[in-house]
Chains A and B, each alone.
Chain A
Amino acid sequence: MRSGKGRAPAIDPIEARKLLLNAIAEATAPLSAKHLGTLPELGRKVSGTAISKWLADDLQSGGVHWWGSGKTRGLWNRDPKDAAHDRLLEIAAVELLGRTMLEKRAAGMLPAIGGAIVKSARATLLAEGQLREVAAPAGVKGKIVINAARPEPYLQAAIAHLLDSFGISRSPERIQALLGVEQPPAAAHDEQEVRDTAEKIFAAMNRIAFSPGTTVTFYRLRQQPELVQIPKQIFDRAALLLESERRALLSIHDHATALSAEERESFVTDGLGKYYVSIYAR
């Protein structure tokens, strides 16, 4: 007979992987290997090497990603490349910065992203034409990177400079008006609800997907207990938010308008005639 103080029983790698994936999916930020190794559900302390080994397939397939570097390194199910994309676009839409400063700013936001990932994302966005590198308007040295879809700060500076060269002076508000009035933002409460729902959808999607990155129909997602009560409009906006944030992709139904209203109800719509049947992690 063994004594009561013997070794803890060996951990089943399949079970451990499930526990780790659940913890990662529910986390609101990357979790360090050290933190994951001390999860009480594992029953004993586990080394970072073992964690990496158990999640090797998921890291390989893109279901789980490394975030940050050095001491800030952690695991999360969101792709840091997508976050880097979003941050670069967001910063470039409000500030006039050169390449290096833009990358530094995006990498430094929390949770931190590795510099190489940000650099690669910046190169891709420039190649795709979503970011554009242009000569800086007077007063700023060298070249700057702008968001091609939201070039207002750059245009505002350039127009002000052009008017100035003709001796005309206009207030920033008048130039902004010339560039178009922004839509009034949706109620803050709604926005928060949409964001929360998006997180729930993302977690549920990763939990019930057949394997990492495979499609989950909205028909199934809507049956998940945490999503059953969500109003359809909020649910649809949350799903679309995940796509616009480049965390997920939605599969479109080409001719849903010809279907019955009941059938369309089980899809997600953008309200402009597009209907989506399923969602999957990017």
Chain B
Amino acid sequence: MPSINGRPFELILAELGQMRAGAKGSSIVLVGEPGSGKTHLLGRLRARLQQDEREGKGATVYIYVRSNASAATLWRHLQHALASDLLRGPEASQLQAVFQRDQQRADKVGHGALRHVLECLRDGRHFHAAAAWLRGEQLGESDLAALGLAVEKDDEDQGRERDAMLVVMAILRFLAPTPVVICFDQVEALESYHGELAGYHAMGRLISELNDGNDHLLLISCIVSAFEHRFDQLSNGADRDRWLQYKAVLRPIGWEPALELVQARLDAAIPLQAARLAHASDPLWPLDEMALKPLFAATGLCLPRTLIQACKQQFDALMPGDAAPVQPVTLAIFLRDAYNRNLAEARRTATKQGLSKTLSDCLPWLLQNSRMMPLGRDEARSRYASQAWRGANGDIALAFCDGRGNALTNQFKRIDREWNPKILKLAILRDPAVQPGARGAELLVRLKERGAREVHPLPEALAVLQAIRNLAATARSGELFWGDQIVSEPEVTDWALSHLPQPVEELRTALTGHKIPDDDPILPRLLELVVADKIVAAEAAAGRLGITTEEVRECARRHPMRFGLLDGAPVVVFEAAGAPAR
């Protein structure tokens, strides 16, 4: 439907046309209410760019970035999205298309490591390791050696962000002069908790850097209108001006375009085609036009999504025989299901992106909702700590240590040098599976003797926090639906806080000092049994403990870091590998 959101789309195409004609690229901000079609517009743009390329009007690289990152991880997040979109579809990826146009382009890349990696990708050598490096994922020493790269020595977040920025800029230079469109969707997701502005400031700086360093780049940012006032709160006017070079509003639609939209949708439904021919005089058949009119009563306008949902409801009501998906009976059940769907993906993401990025992006939500408040930026503190918070038990600095080998040792050295325990308490958050070398272990002991606490966030805790963050960001953008009802971010937050799994509760306790009540009487008894037997059928365990099989199963599910559960016949419970000591 070209008439819907036609003006913003034309603006984008006009800017793209200017850029193809040799003008410098720009930055466009799209503002609209949830359901006004922002994400749809980006999809439409992508399809248009593909069509242009097929028709010989010139190639364009299209990159989609969902902005659920934070101030400390934005460049890494962009690197991941940029590389992922370039590599998507191994046979016909955008990167392969660039190589096909110019085989020698990689030779001109100034960034040594990137040149090695691009050559590997071009020649089909060490594809998986090269792709992982390009996405910014951490690689083992053998993979790095295979790619001909030095072992990573950078041990701090700022250094990694700087590296990511250099890689992103080098990739963009490599892609030049092919125009590149980067779409930052759901910009409001930059808030790791409600009201946090640091992400917007960092995004403003990032847009400025991208804009200044590249001429062939069109940047599009989509933000829900409820968060537009965040632009007014940006303190750096120059960054704001570079970000907001153009602005377009996605508007609700009037009755005539609405009719066209509904008719187009109905015409596209193949199962309806024969029956609709028999009702040619009624363009909306089988829908009732009069039932849609109240949507336009107040202002004469309606959001496209509201209209489509009303049509869907009417359609579902007309087709009682067709089993529509069963809607969860309560909001809590809906949120549980949505969270579980997110969790599977979050487990993969959290493992790949590493402890530091996950904690940077997700931990502020947990701490801010645990009555802690972030401490302002402090140059001296930022040399050894990733974040610092004030809570009922005083101030605490958090150091995220997920380097390996020398990088980890270097980080411990810096903490030992910079941290003053008389000023601030310190928690070192790290993966216990990564063993420091001899010198690193020595330093860690020394730091603990000086009062630092070592906290081991379990992989499941990181995945849970990532899943909650994703769910909350979706709700904030007005994209989370329970039936036809929008679920708000506060509803997600309330639900998540009252259903925090044990690994996250343990992490919260370790950082805030709050005690959590151990109100699971079955846990110690089942634990004792499983530790002794290592593996036991749920039914047998239930018999020995004098409880039902279902209770055994539920207890094992509530404590995933202590028990493994095989949901077969029979159901089997076993001791989880690396379960925390009792």
List of B residues within 8 angstroms of A69 by Cβ: none
Size class of the A contact interface (CB-based, 8 Å): 20 to 34
- Report whether B226 and A215 are in contact in the complex, using a CB–CB cutoff of 8 Å: no
Question: Could you tell me the distance between the alpha carbons of A61 and B10 in the complex, rounded to whole angstroms?
Answer: 12
Question: Could you tell me the distance between the alpha carbons of A61 and B31 in the complex, rounded to whole angstroms?
Answer: 17
B255 CB within 8 Å of chain A: yes
Count A/B pairs, Cβ under 8 Å: 87
Cβ < 8 Å to B, chain A residues 226-264? 243, 246, 249, 251-256, 258-259, 263
List of B residues within 8 angstroms of A277 by Cβ: 225-226, 228-229
Q: Point out the residue from B249, B300, B301 that lies within 8 Å of A214, measured CB to CB.
A: B249
- Report whether A220 and B232 are in contact in the complex, using a CB–CB cutoff of 8 Å: yes
A269 CB within 8 Å of chain B: no
- Report whether B255 and A266 are in contact in the complex, using a CB–CB cutoff of 8 Å: no
Question: Could you tell me the distance between the alpha carbons of A246 and B254 in the complex, rounded to whole angstroms?
Answer: 12
| Smallest CB separation, B394 vs chain A (Å) | 25
- Report whether B300 and A251 are in contact in the complex, using a CB–CB cutoff of 8 Å: no
B248 CB within 8 Å of chain A: yes
List of B residues within 8 angstroms of A254 by Cβ: 34, 226, 478, 486, 488
- Report whether A214 and B248 are in contact in the complex, using a CB–CB cutoff of 8 Å: yes
Q: Point out the residue from A128, A149, A253, A259 that lies within 8 Å of B293, measured CB to CB.
A: A128
Question: Could you tell me the distance between the alpha carbons of A43 and B290 in the complex, rounded to whole angstroms?
Answer: 56
Residues of A contacting B: mostly: mixed
- Report whether A278 and B225 are in contact in the complex, using a CB–CB cutoff of 8 Å: yes
Of all chain B residues, the one with the shortest Cβ separation from A148 is B297
List of B residues within 8 angstroms of A219 by Cβ: 229, 232
List of A residues within 8 angstroms of B293 by Cβ: 128-129
A211 CB within 8 Å of chain B: yes
A249-B7 CB under 8 A given contacts A278-B225, A278-B229: no
- Report whether A280 and B249 are in contact in the complex, using a CB–CB cutoff of 8 Å: yes
A129-B297 CB under 8 A given contacts A210-B247, A255-B488: yes
Cβ < 8 Å to B, chain A residues 187-227? 210-211, 213-215, 217-220
A124 CB within 8 Å of chain B: yes
B33 CB within 8 Å of chain A: yes
Question: Could you tell me the distance between the alpha carbons of A184 and B34 in the complex, rounded to whole angstroms?
Answer: 37
B457 CB within 8 Å of chain A: no
A127 CB within 8 Å of chain B: yes
| Smallest CB separation, A183 vs chain B (Å) | 19
- Report whether B228 and A252 are in contact in the complex, using a CB–CB cutoff of 8 Å: no
| Smallest CB separation, A129 vs chain B (Å) | 4
Cβ < 8 Å to B, chain A residues 96-142? 124, 127-130
List of B residues within 8 angstroms of A211 by Cβ: 246-247
List of B residues within 8 angstroms of A210 by Cβ: 244, 246-247
A85 CB within 8 Å of chain B: yes
| Smallest CB separation, B368 vs chain A (Å) | 13
A258-B225 CB under 8 A given contacts A128-B300, A214-B249: no
- Report whether B225 and A246 are in contact in the complex, using a CB–CB cutoff of 8 Å: no
Question: Could you tell me the distance between the alpha carbons of A277 and B188 in the complex, rounded to whole angstroms?
Answer: 14
A214-B488 CB under 8 A given contacts A129-B293, A249-B252: no
List of B residues within 8 angstroms of A214 by Cβ: 31, 247-249
- Report whether B229 and A217 are in contact in the complex, using a CB–CB cutoff of 8 Å: yes
A128, A149, A213, A249 — most chain B CB neighbours (10 Å) = A128
Cβ < 8 Å to A, chain B residues 1-48? 7, 31, 33-34
List of A residues within 8 angstroms of B247 by Cβ: 210-211, 214-215
A residues sitting closer than 8 Å to B (CB atoms) are 61, 85, 124, 127-130, 149, 210-211, 213-215, 217-220, 243, 246, 249, 251-256, 258-259, 263, 266, 277-278, 280
Other than the given A128-B293, A255-B490, A258-B488, 15 more pairs (CB < 8 A) read A61-B7, A124-B255, A124-B300, A128-B255, A130-B297, A213-B7, A214-B248, A220-B232, A249-B301, A251-B225, A254-B478, A255-B491, A256-B226, A278-B228, A280-B249
User: What are 18 A-B contacts defined by CB distance under 8 Å?
Assistant: A124-B254, A124-B300, A128-B255, A210-B247, A211-B246, A214-B31, A215-B225, A215-B247, A219-B232, A220-B229, A249-B251, A252-B226, A254-B486, A256-B226, A259-B194, A263-B195, A266-B229, A277-B226
B residues sitting closer than 8 Å to A (CB atoms) are 7, 31, 33-34, 194-195, 225-226, 228-229, 231-232, 244, 246-249, 251-252, 254-256, 290, 293-294, 296-297, 299-301, 478, 486, 488-491
Q: Sorted from nearest, which 6 A-B pairs have the closest CB atoms?
A: A251-B225, A258-B490, A255-B488, A253-B226, A210-B247, A129-B293
